[in-house]
Amino acid sequence: MTAVSRAWGRLTLPGRIVFTLVPLLAVLGAGLVALIVLFGGTAADLILANLGFVRFLAAATIILVITIPIAFLNIYLEMKVIALMNLRVGPDRVGPWGSLLSVVHGLKVLIKEDFTPTAADPIVFTWAPVVTYAAAVMTLLVLPFAPGLYGQDFNIGLLYFFAVGGMGVVGLLMGGWSSFNKYSLLGGLRSAAQIVSYEIPLTLSVVGLLILAGTMSLNQIVQQQSGWFTDWFVFRQPLGFVIFFIAATAEANRTPFDLTEADSEIVAGFATEYSGMRFGFFFFAEYVNVFILSALAAVLFLGGWNAPFPFPALSIPLYPGSLGIPLLFLIALVPIIGTLALAAPFYLARSSMRWWVALIIGFVLFNVVAGGLTFAWAYVSFDWVAGLVWFMAKTFGFVFVFVWMRGTLPRVRIDQLMGFAWKWLLPAALLNLFVTAAAVVIVGS
Amino acid sequence: MTTTSHPGRHASADDPRVLLDDEIGVFGTVPPYPPRTEREAEFYTLGDGQMFLNMGPQHPSTHGVLRIVLKLDGEKVVDLDPVLGYLHRGVEKLCENADYHQVISQVDPLEYVSSLFCEWSPVMAFEKLLDVDVPRRAEYIRVLSGELNRIASHALFMGWFALDLGGLTPILWSFIERDEIVEMLAALTGQRMLFNYFRIGGVNGDLNHDFMSRLGDWMSRATGQIEANLTLLNQNEIFVRRARGLGVVDTETALAMCMTGPNLRATGSPFDVRRAHPYSIYPELDFDIPTRTEGDSLARYLLRMEEIKQSLRIIDQCLHQMPDGPIMAKLPRLLRPRPGRAYAAIEGPRGQYATYAISDGTDQPFRMRIHDPSFVHLQSVGLLMRGDLIADCMAIMASLDPVMGGVDK
Amino acid sequence: MSMNPIRLVPGSGMVRGMALTLRRFFEPKATIRYPEVRADIPPKFRGRLQLLYDEYGTLKCETCFQCAQACPIECIDMGGMDTKGRFHVHWGAAETYGERREESALRRSGRTVPDPAYDHFEGVDVGAVDDILEGFDHDPAHLLAILEATQAHYGYLPVGALKRISQVTGTWYAQIYGTASFYGHLRFEPPALLEQAAAMAARRPAEQAFLAGLGASLSGGGGDDA
């Protein structure tokens, strides 16, 4: 006994962790194997029988999780792009080019005090960020990221999107109402007025597109835009696109329509009294919203996951499994040979270079080349990879425009905002709808 | 109805956390004393559907620590009550307890974005008291550094104004502009912000190589840089539509409100102390007094941008006409002016800075009165903001360009 | 403004502004990356509060208190041992030295400052100082006259008496010390001690060591902690 305790006492902390974890993992792994052996067939049958439901569960979980990196990426983009436009450097300390700063921001809001004002309504105050965040996450469910890569393909997908997306304002209103702060109240009411007003042109602007497409399923709308980029709806509905973009800016509370959190007027609007992770939820929801509206703009008007031009159909007859035993040799030798081959020119060209520096350069280069080749192979072989690349490129293009606008434009006034929605956007959206409908009737008859 | 009951407040007599409506009218805004004047009684009585909003002293855009109690009807400002004094340091009294040289460092932080002008008027008043002739080279250096400071102040104004209208970028661009000027002034004066450069009878230190090379470098690209910065705002429809017709004031009202400087010239009156009551070497210099007639925030903004160009002209002439000679008049170390009074006014970036000094023959001023344009302009806030929206309150204040350090003194 | 037809298109100004920000996006940045790159400080920069050293590496400061007197906001203070072993001298803003912070606060509130360095200057009967101050109505404007009267009473200016004057009139100690050290006829040591030291110095060079020992014993071991 004493020998064991003495040996344990000599172990360092990592050693103790290893000695604890390895047996634990072994036991658990054995148990898992036993479970699979005993009940594997039944479980597989159960999953296969309820495939749709399991798929939905998986999609919902993945979507909930994926909002976090999306929000982090958007926050980082916002910080960095605006900084560069301001002739600043922006985040450059945490991670490469400061790219982990938004993660640190996320951790920061997690460990901050979760503060509730004395006279606030605690229940409404607590649930307000949840409502906003849930609305943002739920809209992600119908977005088609790539062929076969979507949460659910509704036939009323667009309607669902607007209906659920409109719920976000309820959270803002709740937050503003319950904070016991007049700035919050003003911000909440502003957001209600603004978002309700801009819902109408936003929805009307896509009705013309719906007439052309004949469906509300986002997947089918994307499929109809396949082919050349001239098939994208932005060229058939330019006015609709402009209206959609302006209204989406207002929907996402982005500059120049960020009146709900106008810091020079009403401090932070509805979020004035929020701190800690509750504020973090508002913050995340805002940036997820930016992503979602950008994605919707890409899906509706820029062809979603379609490439701008059809690629010549390439099929690479590369089946790694057919190589057999030589594949093992290939896996073992290609990295070494590639590294040496790429390192040799550097070592030979510059006599002052140490051999290990050349090897490191060669290794990095080999990884870049191999990664690029693998990506190219995946891009050609799997259409979901290609689709995801194009979708993300378009979406983050829109996100960049949103951030760019924030870096450039001042804020409009509340009466100008409302006047613009009702006097200009709404008639323009109706005109767009009327012209589209007339054109469809005339061409169709 | 005298008060608004706030949503989310659980009005319960048992809950000690919450103050009831009867106990404290509106949270924090009703003064904890019975109204002292009729105006106060009228202001602190709420009409139907109105509410108070306590803007400041802790607010992102009150330019320091101004507090404005707004009486709101929805988003519309029905009435307002500016509350000053959060930055009061008793500078005039401090000056009366310091000797004449020390006064310069006391008045420096009044308007911390244009400290040279805060020094200039007391120094001029003391020179009048002492009957000193300032060497011409010192005057030229004063005008040169002063106009540089004016550009820095106006450049910063552009950023502030845009920031209060919601633009993020111009403030940082204008800080770059200001930083270059401040760096060269630091090379000249030894400090970046509170220069403490003017002395009674001259200036502290001659032009040096560091300053001149920085100045030449900056002058060669200043015009282009400022023009480029201006395209961001001057043609921006959102900016122009928000600033136009905002806080309009006509010449009569402006004069009745004692406005001076760009705020007055934006109404059409070409009053500029540099021309109206010439001082220093301004009569020898060739520059225009730009005026505009609209009298709104956009006019005030554009006028300041025009003044930047005029200041660049003045700097150019100063550099070309700079005479040789001493930079300080011969003065004893301990100054004891004969008993008397002196008044000196200068044209600063915000308007007329003036000092009225009384000497009783000792080495400390018996009384010093500092006339600060920021304070004077702030009194028209009540006139300009009433009837506008909350969003415009800060924009109007920014267009008047007050600095709270000077307001509260 | 020229009448460019493009400017009549609504939104063209915004587009131009966005083009400008996009151009600035790629331009070199103005940020100074602080810990790696330091902004250059002009030679005339006055922001540092520090004492200068001469070419032999010794401090140029002679503890004359003139800077403390001239400082308009009374932010300069000194303490430690001066060159004659008289006083506890170090320098800088009073608040920047932890051991002085409390004293400064006490002094500003008009209370006694407990300072071990002052201890061996105690033992002076300050009742006479109070009488003198009473005669001058506690007015620091008559500082010179007060000091002369004090010297007339004690024969020299004891530090304890100066401290008492500072406490009662509220005058900055530096100011009193500066005033006293400015005038030649005011002295800090008893004349008898001075004469004795001078006579001993004149008598035998060998007694220099003894004199140094005397000085060391007089200084009371107050360390220089600057």
The per-residue pLDDT for range A17-57, each reduced to its tens digit, is 888 899 999 999 999 999 888 888 888 888 888 887 888 88
Is beta strand B352-359 parallel, antiparallel or unpaired with respect to B50-55? Answer: unpaired
Residues of chain A found within 8 Å of residue C33, distances taken between Cβ atoms: 89, 92
B368 with B171: CB under 8 angstroms? no
Q: Check if B16 contacts A (Cβ < 8 Å).
A: no
Helices C173-182 and C143-154 pack at an angle, to 10 degrees, of 70
> Please, what's the b/e burial string for B15-33 (b: 16 or more CB within 10 A of its CB; e: otherwise)?
eeebbebeeebbbebbeee
B173 touches chain A (CB under 8 A): yes
The CA dihedral of C71, C77, C81, C87, to the nearest 10 degrees, is: 80
Characterize C165-182 residue by residue with b for buried, 16 or more Cβ atoms within 10 angstroms of its Cβ, and e for exposed: bbbbbebbbbbbbbbbbe
Q: Among A261-265, B97-101, B194-198, C4-8, where is mean pLDDT lowest?
A: C4-8
Contact A88 B390 (CB under 8 A): no
Q: Return d(Cα B361, Cα A134) in angstroms, integer.
A: 76
Nearest CA of chain C to the CA of B363: how many Å? 12
Q: How confident is the model at residue B148 (pLDDT cuts 50, 70, 90)?
A: very high
A410–B391 C-beta distance less than 8 A: no
Identify whether the C-beta of residue A269 lies closer than 8 Å to the C-beta of residue A181. Answer: no
Map residue B223 onto helix, strand or coil: helix
Answer whether B238 sits within 8 Å of A88, measured CB to CB: no
Residue of A nearest to B58 (CA): A267
Cβ-defined contact of B165 to A264 (cutoff 8 Å): yes
B124 closest CA partner among B330, B279, B333: B279
- Closest residue in chain B to residue A125, using alpha carbons only: B8
User: How close A401 comes to chain C (CA, Å)?
Assistant: 10
Cis check for the bond before B57: say yes or no (omega within 30 of 0).
Answer: yes
Q: Beta strands B50-55 and B67-73: pairing type?
A: antiparallel
Is residue A254 within 8 A of residue A290, CB to CB? The reply is yes
Helix H or strand E segment including C76: strand C76-78
Partner-chain contact A264 B392, CB within 8 Å: no
A166: DSSP letter: T
Does A410 sit behind a cis peptide bond, omega within 30 degrees of 0 on the bond before it?
no
Average pLDDT, chain C: 70
Q: Is B227 on the interface with C (CB under 8 A)?
A: no
How is residue B371 written in tokens? Answer: 């006339």
Q: Number of C-alpha atoms within 13 angstroms, CB side, residue C104?
A: 17
Q: Note whether B233 contacts C21, CB cutoff 8 Å.
A: no
ipTM over 0.90: no
pLDDT in tens, B226-237: 888 888 888 888
Cα dihedral across residues B171, B174, B178, B180: positive or negative: positive
In this prediction, what percent of chain A has a pLDDT beyond 90? 10
User: Quick check: C14 and B160 in contact, CB under 8 A?
Assistant: no
Q: Give the mutation candidate from A81, A87, A242, A423 for the C interface (greatest C CB count, under 10 A).
A: A87
Q: How many CB pairs under 8 A join A and C?
A: 34
Distance from CA of A407 to the nearest CA of B (A): 6
Cβ of residue B37 closer than 8 Å to a chain C Cβ: no
Of residues A430, A378, A422, A409, the one with CA closest to residue A146: A378
Q: Using the beta-carbon criterion (under 8 Å), do B173 and A86 form an inter-chain contact?
A: yes
Q: Mean pLDDT throughout B52-72? A: 81
Separation CA A186–CA B194 (nearest Å): 39
Of the candidates B152, B280, B297, the one whose C-alpha atom is nearest the C-alpha of residue B215 is: B152
Give the one of C14, C29, C31 whose C-beta lies nearest to A409's C-beta. Answer: C14
Which B residues in the span 60-119 are in contact with A, Cβ-Cβ below 8 Å? 60-61, 75
Q: Which of A116-125, B197-206, C183-192 has the highest mean pLDDT?
A: B197-206
Give residue B5's pLDDT band: very low, low, confident or very high (50, 70, 90).
very low
**Triad B309, B310, B311: Cα angle to 5°:** 90
Q: B92 is written with which tokens?
A: 């005039």
Check C33 against A89: CB less than 8 A apart: yes
Test mutation, C15, C20, C21, chain A, max A CBs within 10 A: C21
- At C199, which helix (H) or strand (E)? helix C191-203
Q: What share of chain B is helix, strand, coil (3-state, %, to 5)?
A: 45, 10, 40
Model confidence at B18, in pLDDT bands (50, 70, 90)? Answer: very low
Distance from CA of B387 to the nearest CA of C (A): 29
Tell me which residue has tokens 């000599």: A10
- The minimum CA-CA distance between A115 and chain B, rounded to whole Å, is 15
Beta-carbon separation of C30 and A407 below 8 A: no
**Measured between beta carbons, which residues in chain B are less than 8 angstroms from residue C45?**
186, 190-191
CA distances from B87 to A252, A318, B317, B355 (A): 39, 76, 38, 20
Domains of chain B: which residue ranges?
91-407
Is a pLDDT exceeding 90 seen at residue B394? no
The architecture in CATH of the region B91-407 reads: Orthogonal Bundle (1.10)
Which of A84, A405, A409 has the CB atom closest to C25's CB atom?
A84
Angstrom distance (rounded) from CA B205 to CA B222? 25
**Alpha carbon distance, N-terminus to C-terminus of chain A:** 94
Rounded to an integer, what distance in angstroms lies between the CA atom of residue C20 and that of residue B231? 8
For residues C218 and C220, what is the distance between their CA atoms, to the nearest angstrom? 5
User: What does the DSSP 8-state code read for residue A146?
Assistant: E
Does C24 contact A at CB distance below 8 Å? yes
Please give the structure tokens belonging to residue B189: 């004066």
CA angle at C122 for the pair C117 and C123, rounded to the nearest 5°: 155
Search chain C and give the residue with CA nearest B187: C42
Of B102, B186, B192, nearest to C72 by CB-CB distance is B102
Task: Answer whether A441's CB lies under 8 Å from A252's CB.
Answer: no
H or E element in which residue A427 lies: helix A426-444
Q: Which chains touch B (3 or more CB pairs under 8 A)?
A: A, C
Secondary structure letter of residue A228 according to DSSP: S
CA distance A121 to A119: 7
Residue B13 neighbours by CB distance under 10 Å: 8
CA dist B154 → B134, B149, B158, B409 (Å):
28, 9, 6, 21
- Shortest Cα distance from C5 to chain A (angstroms)? 22
* CB nearest to B164's CB, from A182, A264, A406: A264
Reduced to 3 DSSP states, what percent helix, strand and coil does chain A have, rounded to the nearest 5? 80, 0, 20
- Report the distance separating Cα B280 and Cα B278, nearest Å: 7
pLDDT surpasses 70 at B19: no
By Cβ distance, the residue of A85, A87, A405 closest to C30 is A87
> Using one digit for the tens of pLDDT, what is the confidence trace for C48-72?
666 667 677 666 666 566 676 677 6
Residue type at C155?
G
CB pairs under 8 A between B and C: 58
Please indicate if any CB of chain A lies within 8 Å of the CB of B43. Answer: no
Q: Using 50, 70 and 90 to split pLDDT, how confident is the model at B29? A: very low
pLDDT band for position A266 (cuts 50, 70, 90): confident
How far is it, in rounded angstroms, from Cα B195 to Cα B108? Answer: 7
**Cβ <8 Å between A407 and C27:** no
CB contact under 8 A, B232 and C21: yes
Rg of chain C over CA atoms, in angstroms? 29
Distance CA B1, CA B47 (A): 7
Please tell me the distance from the alpha carbon of residue C121 to that of residue C102, in angstroms, as a whole number: 20
Triad B353, B358, B361: Cα angle to 5°: 140
How close A409 comes to chain C (CA, Å)? 7
C96 lies within 8 A of chain B by CB = no
> Which residue of chain B comes nearest to A409, CA vs CA?
B167
pLDDT category of residue C100 using cuts at 50, 70 and 90: very low
Residues of B in contact with A190 (CB under 8 A): 75
CA-CA-CA-CA torsion sign (A145, A149, A155, A157): negative
Amino acid at A351: S
Say which of C21, C29, C31 has its CB closest to residue A404.
C21
Q: Is B125 left (phi over 0), alpha (psi -120 to 50) or beta?
A: alpha
Tell me how many degrees the CA angle A116-A118-A123 measures, rounded to the nearest 5: 55
Cβ neighbourhood burial of C42 (10 Å; 0-12, 13-18, 19+): buried
pLDDT at C83 over 60: no
What confidence score (pLDDT) does residue B343 get?
92
The Cα–Cα gap between B102 and B160 comes to: 32
Most distant CA pair in chain B, distance: 81
Alpha helix stretches (DSSP H) within B52-114: 91-96, 100-107
Residues C170-209 have pLDDT tens digits of: 777 777 887 887 787 888 777 776 677 677 666 655 556 6
The answer to whether B374 and B111 have CB atoms below 8 angstroms apart is yes
Q: Residue B18: its chain A contacts at CB < 8 A?
A: 118-119
Contacts of C24 in chain A (CB under 8 A): 84-87
**Minimal CA separation from C35 to chain A, in Å:** 11
pLDDT band at C89 (very low <50, low <70, confident <90, very high): very low
Name the pTM for this structure: 0.77
| Nearest one of A248, A341, A355 to A294, comparing CA atoms | A248
Q: Band the pLDDT of B17: cuts 50, 70, 90.
A: very low
Highest mean pLDDT (candidates B148-157, C9-18, C63-72, C212-221): B148-157
Nearest residue to A180 (alpha-carbon basis) of A128, A120, A118: A120
In terms of Cα–Cα distance, which of A36, A419, A439 is closest to A194?
Answer: A419
Asked if C201 and C208 touch (Cβ cutoff 8 Å), the reply is yes
Give the β-pairing of C76-78 and B340-347: unpaired
**Chains meeting A at 3+ CB pairs closer than 8 A?**
B, C
Q: Using an 8 Å Cβ cutoff, are A79 and A102 in contact? A: yes
Tell me whether residues B190 and C42 touch, CB distance under 8 A: yes
Q: Is residue C103 pLDDT above 90, yes or no?
A: no
* Beta partners for residue B83, in sequence order: B67
Q: Whole-angstrom Cα distance, residue A156 to residue A114?
A: 39
Of C14, C39, C73, the CB nearest to B236: C14
pLDDT band at residue B140 under the 50/70/90 scheme: very high
Q: What pLDDT is stored for residue C203 in this prediction?
A: 63
Of A350, A341, A278, residue with least CA distance to A125: A278
Please indicate whether, in this complex, the C-beta atoms of A177 and B239 are within 8 angstroms of each other.
no
Size of interface A-B (CB pairs under 8 A): 106
Q: Say which of C13, C42, C43 has its CB closest to residue B237.
A: C13
Q: How many residues does chain C have?
A: 226
A316 neighbors A235 (Cβ within 8 angstroms) = no
Question: Looking at chain B from residue 362 to 391, which residues have their Cβ under 8 Å from any Cβ of chain A?
Answer: 389-391
Cα B214 from Cα B184, distance rounded (Å): 6
Residue C7 sits at the vertex; the CA angle it makes with C1 and C8, to the nearest 5 degrees, is 115
Q: Which of A418-422, A429-433, C39-43, C149-153 is predicted with the least confidence, judged by mean pLDDT?
A: C39-43
